[in-house]
Structure 1
Amino acid sequence: MLLSPALPASMPANSFGAFIFADRHNRLLLVVAIAAAAVKMVIFKHFFPYLDFTSDTGSYMQTALQNLDHNIWPVGYSKFLWLFHQVSRSETALAVLQFSLLETSAFFFYFSVVYIFRAESYFRYGFYAFLLINPLFPFLGNYFISDALFLSLGLTWITLLLWMLHKPTTLLLILHGLVLGAAFTIRYNAMFYPLVALIPILLSGYRIWQKIAAILLPMILIVSFVLFIRQRSYEHAGIREFSVFSGWQMMNNSMYGLQYRKLDSADVPARFATMHNLVYHFCDNLRKSKKKKQVYDGSVFMWDNAGPQKTMMRYYFTVYKNKDAYTAWAALAPLFRSYGEYTIKKYPGDFFRYYLLANAKLYILPEPEVLNAYNRPYMGSNLDNVKAFFKDGDKEKPEGKYNDLQSTLMALFPSLIVICHLLFLEETIRYLIKKGIRKTSRKFNIALLLCWTFMVINFGFSVLAAPIVLRYQVLLIVLLLGYTLLLTEVTDKPLLSAEEAALEEERLMLGV
């Protein structure tokens, strides 16, 4: 029966390995998935033969080539690139590796859900079909940025949480901590992952000391990484900054509201005098202009060469002529963070209206951003290290013939996010009305709570602190689609008997 309780103790279920490899049907699904992934990649590279770049690529590449421990971006992806570069200098190999990691993590999630919850029908075949035809993974894997690796770790992290609910072991506890810690080194969005993980950990069948260990391990790894980066930043730039980018981002976010207000200099703290003067003139020109900066433009203020932040950076270089870019970013980050906090507190209504509210709308319908087109021809000429990183990096990588195909495909996904949210909400309501909580196992209900927790906290974090673009929301698409299909399956099934419900509860407590 779909999502029914596990078999009695006298009839132990097959192991996960046997479930995949010994079962003929599941083995066939795996073979088809591998074959489809290979075919998909071959076809994709025919249409899009070259690795794509973004404005972040140069920083990742330089950090990887020099094996640096500091960067304006998290250094985890650069370390991954450094390891890759010791083995290969092939663009195609990097794209294939990143795509393979995405496919592996996605099908690990798929087979785990089918095994743990004994899913059938909609999820078993609907979600499988989505993974087979999904064009997002080839495109994400084809970029020289951290998205593919971060998404792979995110999917693996979610899957490990499900396994910790199903069969809580010490090994899973350790793997979960390592994967979560690794994800944090790739992108700081993972800082809220430990909070999400509290739900399944605290409600799992672990003993008290194991729950404490499961909570503390990723936190210890994250804090250790933060202290390590702060020390490396101090050694290089003389400033103990963990994320130099966050200070710049804070001020950038505050300026969306400032461009609508006639600023004054009354009561401006002396330490902000120069900064405020630049902001005053820049925002005054924007206020008089018909075209304002919008949140869908991304971190537009901090990258604008005529903007106050880049102007301050040029001032810095006139005083400290021998300093490098990272040192300038680190030196200015505390000032920008403090100024951003000051203006947000002074004009909270403008910040709410023009940044938070606008960002909340963008969260539901994010921009395709770099995924909308092939960017390599516009970025490659500005990257001095391409030749050093790739064996044919000095060769021209012209714009392809199929850019319209990419933009057409990617244009579908913002609407898919809207659809996934609506369907997930609708199926959750139907699940509650039809007493779905009593129709399935306790661990399924906890897993559903896990998904809702992730969605809510991800929304809050994205709206408050992060740029919102399509590539940052792919994990959400996968989770919402998968859970919606699961909910659709279980809602109309008959209630569990009291004996079946008790048996499931006992198995969970025993960690079976």
Structure 2
Amino acid sequence: MNILPNAPASKQTFRQFLFHNRGNRIILYVAAAVIVIQFVVFKYLYPFANYIHDDSFRYIEAAYDNLTINSYPIGYSKFLRLVSVVAKPDLALVICQYLLIQCSSLFFLFTVFYFYKAGRVIQTVLFCFMVLNPLFLQLGNMVSSDALFLSLSMTWFALLIWLIYKPSKKIIGWHALVLFLAFTVRYNALIYPFIAALAFGFSPLPVRKKAAGLGLALLLIGWFAGLTMYQYKKLTGYWQFSPFSGWQWSNNAMNVYRELHYTEREPVPPQFHALDNRIRTFFDTHPNLNVVKATPAYMWTPRYPLVQYRDSLFQNDGSATEFKMWAGMGPFYSAYGKYIIKKYPLHFLRHFVLPNAWKYFVPPVEYLENYNWGYPIVQESAVKWFGYSSNQVRAGTKNGGLWSVQYFPWLVSFVNMILFLMLLCYLLLKGWQYNPAFNRIILLVGVFWITYAAFNIFAAPTVLRYQAFTSSLSVIFSLLLIDWLGRLIQHLKTESQQQQPNSEYAQKAIG
């Protein structure tokens, strides 16, 4: 039983849906005007790009040196080089990033409404949320991979919907390319191929084309992973895709070790003795260390054991660069971190996973709290790359505060709770009985939402900018499920009213 209005997909092309439909055409014109106006006002308040110290400068330095590997995925640094070919000022980068976010958001929304005709109120609310979203402005203004990854993720998920309901060779090709690009930009994309495999499973394509489409994406990803591993092999002597993950494992292990009483500590294998003793001594001499739970600070702070132990190993190697030392520790730190976590699994769940789960559902604002993290200057690499006249940067707001996103952690928490409740309602009310076509996308969203949350909660500390995509997804499908529930209630009410006269007529006939 289908209680939703028929989708227009079978009646008109997507281009016709966008430009021949008067209502949609007006939305596009209004959205374009609003996007331009709010961007101009925003840049008046924040004339310079925003920077994360020191992540932004790592990206810039990798772009300047045209590196093939970096401490973060190299895709964003290549993007910086591509934009610089067109224009050098940071304004060009910010415009490009913000337009990518908005265009991908509108593509995602129009894709949803192309296949599912939601109510006009729901459509209006969602368009306002996307176009007027202050988080998008802040991410677009930041020299970080967040904006690019958000736009790629929006586009990728929209293409998954096309693969499920109206696949073609072009869609398969675009999906493979976008998934590959997302994989080069952010490690969170590691779970994307699994979600893509589920979407291909839902697609009406023949099995041969499903395998070819997914295989093409995996081939591109495999090429990038192989090239990256080869570059690290040449640099450090180890085959590895991401030294960052090794440091992350040890960082997470230190979050566990911090809460271990000295009587609970057990001996470690010989290869870990030196590092483990250093970490034990550190926590014994700093019993009241002032750091939050599930912190990433242990992997970056020079006075903490991980960095100090690395430096002690390379102190006699004058030829080792900072990056080579960092990358060379990846395999060892991965082995140590995994060993400690496996040794104390309950402590890991209690002192890392649970605090990180809270941070996931109420994500810290982090670097989005203050412009340029409160610094009045930027590093020389940014001055050279963007052609600044000096290293001084400023914001037009008092103390450089980014007040527009302060309420977002609670908004994210609220929409995640609403999505969870609506998915539960869909399950309890057996929603699949009323709209078979709607089921596949709801299942896809549910699986992605759970998988992405689990990946982030168990793997790494999370913050607001990492959840720009998932929170947008939660808003969109929470409202769509609310719209579905409203239609279901109306449908059941109408059925009840139709059955009541028939029942009264039957009773009179019997009487």
User: Scaled by the length of structure 1, what TM-score is found?
Assistant: 0.90
Q: Partner of 1:295: helix, strand, or coil?
A: coil
Does the alignment pair 1:489 with 2:483? yes
Q: What is residue 39 of structure 1 aligned with on the other side?
A: 37
Change (3 A) 1:459 1:67: same
Q: What is residue 451 of structure 2 aligned with on the other side?
A: 457
User: Which residue identity lines up with residue 421 of structure 2 in the other structure?
Assistant: E
Match for residue 356 of structure 1 among 353, 358, 363: 353
- Cα offset for 1:348? 1.9
Largest Rg, 1 or 2: 2
- Cα offset for 1:48? 1.1
Q: What is residue 93 of structure 1 aligned with on the other side?
A: 92
- Cα offset for 1:29? 0.3
Match for residue 411 of structure 2 among 407, 416, 437: 416
Change (3 A) 1:379 1:84: farther
User: Which residue identity lines up with residue 5 of structure 1 in the other structure?
Assistant: N
Q: What is residue 463 of structure 2 aligned with on the other side?
A: 469
Deviation per residue, 1:350-409 (Å, 9 max, x gap): 21211111111211111011011112663844x231222011153411354345751x32
Q: How does 1:275-286 map to 2 (within 5 A)?
A: 275-286=275-286
Does the alignment pair 1:425 with 2:426? no
Q: What is residue 127 of structure 2 aligned with on the other side?
A: 128
Change (3 A) 1:324 1:423: same
Q: What is residue 369 of structure 1 aligned with on the other side?
A: 366
- Give the distance between the partners of 2:236 and 2:432, measured in 1 at CA: 55
User: Which residue identity lines up with residue 141 of structure 1 in the other structure?
Assistant: G
How many positions carry a matched residue from both structures? 488
Q: Partner of 1:318: helix, strand, or coil?
A: coil
Change (3 A) 1:17 1:2: farther
After superposing the two structures, state which structure 1 stretch, 102-111 or 488-497, moved more: 488-497
Q: Is the 8 A contact 2:238 2:331 kept in 1?
A: no
After superposing the two structures, state which structure 1 stretch, 97-106 or 385-394, moved more: 385-394
Does the alignment pair 1:390 with 2:390? no
- Give the distance between the partners of 1:29 and 1:454, measured in 2 at CA: 29
Deviation per residue, 1:237-275 (Å, 9 max, x gap): 333221111111100001112112244786322211221
User: Which residue identity lines up with residue 4 of structure 2 in the other structure?
Assistant: L
Q: Is the 8 A contact 2:4 2:487 kept in 1?
A: no
Q: Partner of 1:420: helix, strand, or coil?
A: helix
Q: What is residue 505 of structure 1 aligned with on the other side?
A: none
Q: What is residue 172 of structure 2 aligned with on the other side?
A: 173
Q: What is residue 259 of structure 1 aligned with on the other side?
A: 258
Unaligned 5+ runs, structure 2: 493-511
CA RMSD of aligned residues (A): 2.2
- Give the distance between the partners of 1:335 and 1:329, measured in 2 at CA: 11
Q: Partner of 1:105: helix, strand, or coil?
A: helix
- Give the distance between the partners of 2:212 and 2:376, measured in 1 at CA: 45
Q: Is the 8 A contact 1:282 1:308 kept in 2?
A: yes
User: Which residue identity lines up with residue 491 of structure 1 in the other structure?
Assistant: L
- Give the distance between the partners of 1:236 and 1:357, measured in 2 at CA: 37
After superposing the two structures, state which structure 1 stretch, 360-369 or 260-269, moved more: 260-269
User: Which residue identity lines up with residue 243 of structure 1 in the other structure?
Assistant: S
- Give the distance between the partners of 2:409 and 2:81, measured in 1 at CA: 33
Unaligned 5+ runs, structure 1: 498-512
Q: Is the 8 A contact 2:394 2:400 kept in 1?
A: no
Q: Is the 8 A contact 1:64 1:78 kept in 2?
A: yes
- Cα offset for 1:198? 2.4
Change (3 A) 1:435 1:64: same
- Cα offset for 1:465? 0.8
Change (3 A) 1:376 1:431: closer
Q: Is the 8 A contact 2:14 2:114 kept in 1?
A: yes
Q: How does 1:7-406 map to 2 (within 5 A)?
A: 12-54=10-52, 55-263=54-262, 267-286=267-286, 288-289=287-288, 291-295=289-293, 298-375=295-372, 378=375, 380-381=377-378, 383-392=379-388, 394-403=390-399, 406=402
